[in-house]
Amino acid sequence: MQRREFMTLASGAAAAWPVAARAQPSKKPTVGFLGASTPAAAEHWVAAFAQRLRELGWTEGRTVAIEYRWAEGRNERMAEIAAEFVRAKADVIVAQGTQAALAAKNETTAVPIVFALPGDPVGSGLVASLARPGGNVTGLSSQVPELAGKRLDLLREIVPGLRRLAIMANLSNAANVLDTQEVEAAARAGGLDVASFEIRRTVDIAAAFATFKGTVDALYVPPDAFLNTNRTRINTLALVARLPTVYGARENVEAAGLISYGPNFTDLFRRAGDYVDKILRGTKPAELPVQQPIKFELVLNLITAMALGLEVPSTLLARADEVIE
């Protein structure tokens, strides 16, 4: 080949190379969303998370792939989903709640994990501390001191004759253990008799109602993926037993519970989008301190109150962030 021909071919190849390189599709980062409950229970949270990612430049299907999986409150399913995401080499795993986050952490020390909603991330072993989480895990905690006492105070306003309280908790959830201890202490300090019931399976719910039927005045249910998944069942049985219910999340009141007070979980999932954005752009999870709630909401269901024959004080209605009627 003549030198002039070689130079012509070489220069043509050089000119063509950037075009060819640009034509090669780049791999979209993948976010694995480990939902501990169900799509219906978490629809507001998922929408807020996806919306925040779009605002930050991550469009689902175009610049990022988001794979959603749902465990329906089952711990074994959470472990299976976490393992699936690790095998698929997800770039980030987003975990809903304590148990889902622990399932993901047990599967990997390499894939970044962003949690939302754990009630006690330090006590449950998810992170070393809130300020310095260490390792590959960080996120948004729902832990706030004295929330249990505030919920009881609100319940007393609607049920002034409250004397006996039932607590229905999933004690396989470390956050529920902490919440139960707090509400038991607050109830006894307020002169209430307390009966706690451990729920691990769906059949335990009806059994608990059969046990405390006619012996308690109200029911306290802490936030938990399994209990949230079964919120309609719990509220139906509570209405049959004519028991007022108090929760930590609005989703339970939307499903005919009486009252809820707690962190705005939708806001926490929105802020989880900020963490995912930072991690996808190169920040290490260990460099992102765990944040706590900054928004709280009080939600009342007047339809349920009327069904139970309860009169909600006007002062409480005025303080509510939302009244379902």
pLDDT digit string, tens, across residues 3-52 = 444 334 334 433 333 433 333 346 899 999 999 999 999 999 999 999 99
Across all residues in the chain, what is the average pLDDT?
91
Beta bridge partners of 113: 93, 137
Enumerate residues 6+ apart whose C-beta is below 8 A from 213: 241
Lowest mean pLDDT among 5-19, 100-114, 115-129, 293-307: 5-19
Average pLDDT value for residue range 110-123: 94
Question: How far apart (Å, rounded) are the C-alpha atoms in residues 279 and 286?
Answer: 10
In one-letter notation, the amino acid at residue 199 is I
- Decide if pLDDT at 2 tops 50: no
Q: How many residues does the chain have?
A: 325
pLDDT value for 3: 42
pLDDT value for 174: 84
pLDDT value for 1: 45
Q: Is the distance from CB of 89 to CB of 308 less than 8 angstroms?
A: no
Q: Is the distance from CB of 167 to CB of 253 less than 8 angstroms?
A: no
pLDDT tens for 147-198 read 989 999 999 999 989 999 999 999 888 888 989 999 999 999 999 999 999 9
pLDDT value for 165: 97
SS3 of residue 243 by DSSP? coil
- Decide if pLDDT at 257 tops 80: yes
- 242: how many CB neighbours lie within 10 A of its CB? 13
Beta bridge partners of 24: none
- The dihedral region occupied by 292, where left means phi > 0, alpha psi between -120 and 50, and beta the remainder, is beta
Residue 41's alpha-carbon distances to 64, 286, 295, in angstroms, are 24, 30, 20
pLDDT tens for 211-227 read 998 999 999 999 999 99
Task: Return the percentage of the chain with pLDDT > 90, whole number.
Answer: 85
pLDDT value for 205: 97
pLDDT tens for 72-88 read 999 999 999 999 999 99
- Decide if pLDDT at 276 tops 70: yes
Nearest-CA neighbor of 92 among 100, 104, 75? 104
Question: How far apart (Å, rounded) are the C-alpha atoms in residues 292 and 34?
Answer: 20
What domains sit in the chain, N to C, each tagged with a CATH number? 30-143+265-294 (3.40.50.2300), 147-263+297-324 (3.40.50.2300)
Question: How far apart (Å, rounded) are the C-alpha atoms in residues 139 and 131?
Answer: 11
Q: Is the distance from CB of 100 to CB of 116 less than 8 angstroms?
A: no
Average pLDDT value for residue range 41-70: 97
Q: Which two tokens stand for residue 38?
A: 């169900």
